[in-house]
Structure 1
Amino acid sequence: MPVKPEILKVTNTANSRLFKVEEIELRFSNGVERTYERLANRGRGAVMIIPVTEDNEVLLIREYAVGLEDYTLTLPKGLIDPGEDEHQAADRELKEEAGFGSHKLDTLKVMTSAPNYMGHKITAVVARELYPCRLQGDEPEEMEVVKWPLEKLDQLLLDEDFTEARAIAALYMTRSFLQK
């Protein structure tokens, strides 16, 4: 196992409402020093929910993604609020974004995106035993809920509106989890 580099200095270089950019000065075990930048972790993390119905359909949502400047098909997700664990956050976000609650929640995996540049983590949670329940969330518009048969996952991957890598990974993990 390699020896972790020594952190010499952390400098906050920029802040926005959502992001904190840090410059990290490191010294590696061989004496080489480098400066890196990262989007720092600013909270308790987030959850991505994979809601599965009794008919083995996954509930997707269509929401506006400002990074793409278009609507995208994805899974419900959101930040873990203070005082919540990942299951409480998953149930709340599912109610806010898809209009369903869950009696059975299982954590699959904590995932990262671009960990060389970001400290953000998202926990994939499978939600089953669903029931209708809507909470008011912070979304600017109600999201369309799209049911998709899990056995037709390969067809979903061909859909040009379904592109989020974390959602793709979560669905493959869910399919494996449910087959056990």
Structure 2
Amino acid sequence: MSKYDHLYEKTISSQPIYDGRIIKVKVDEVLLPNGNTAKREIVNHQGAVAVLPITDDNKMVVVRQFRKPLERTIVEIPAGKLEPGEEPLACAIRELEEETGYVASQYTPLSSFYTSPGFADEILHVFVATGLKKGESKPDEDEFVDVLEVTLEEAHALHQSGEIRDAKTVVALFAWENKMLRERR
């Protein structure tokens, strides 16, 4: 028995709606703590990893990529979904090299967070990658990206202009800035 049991929503029924390559969607009917029922639309996702790569000359490696749901191109840190049974660190190593061509000598966990817990169970694991060496990128056949190296100031300008707008990259940007501020002390 947990001290938060009074908040629990018991699933009464679950209706699968969509079973895709990246997500599954279902609608659950739940019993609320007050005895009423409600519907919950839920997106199931395997989970993902993002990498904040920092070069030896203190630049962040990012990719510019078209995102169909937004109908625009944005700038992001490298990221990708976990394969079934894959460890987050292995995914981080794979995604960094696939998207950017870089390999890192050190990966440090930064944070793990739920991307949108109001409707999705996706968890995103973020790593900082250092000791970078440039290699050959190997993007997926349906993945087209431009690789950029940006300073902290350039990253902030990309954020201000709206080119950096996704949560993982905004979190990484401010974590990187915080790290640099701590190192200056």
Q: Shorter-chain TM-score: which interval? A: 0.7 to 0.9
- State the 1:57 CA deviation: 0.7
**Larger deviation: 30-39 or 101-110?**
30-39
The answer on whether the counterparts of 1:49 and 1:125 sit within 8 Å (CA) in structure 2 is yes
- Whichever residue aligns with residue 147 of structure 2, its letter is V
- Whichever residue aligns with residue 65 of structure 1, its letter is R
Corresponding residue for 2:58? 56
- CA deviations over 1:29-66 (Å, ceiling 9, x no partner): 3222211111123x2x1111110011111011011211
1:122 to 121, 124, 128: 124
The answer on whether the counterparts of 2:100 and 2:137 sit within 8 Å (CA) in structure 1 is no
RMSD: 2.0
- State the 1:139 CA deviation: 4.2
Query: How do residues 17-28 of structure 1 correspond to structure 2 at under 5 angstroms?
Result: 17-28=21-32
- SS of match in other structure, 1:40: strand
- SS of match in other structure, 2:163: coil
Residue ranges of structure 2 left out of the alignment (5+ in a row): none
1:14 to 9, 14, 18: 18
- State the 1:110 CA deviation: 1.3
Percent identity between matched residues is 25
1:176 to 161, 164, 178: 178
Corresponding residue for 2:109? 107
The answer on whether the counterparts of 2:63 and 2:145 sit within 8 Å (CA) in structure 1 is yes
1:85 to 84, 87, 90: 87
Q: For the residues of structure 2 that align with 1:83 and 1:7, how far apart are their CA atoms?
A: 26
Q: For the residues of structure 1 that align with 2:68 and 2:144, how far apart are their CA atoms?
A: 16
TM (norm. structure 2) is 0.85
- State the 1:83 CA deviation: 4.5
The answer on whether the counterparts of 2:25 and 2:43 sit within 8 Å (CA) in structure 1 is yes
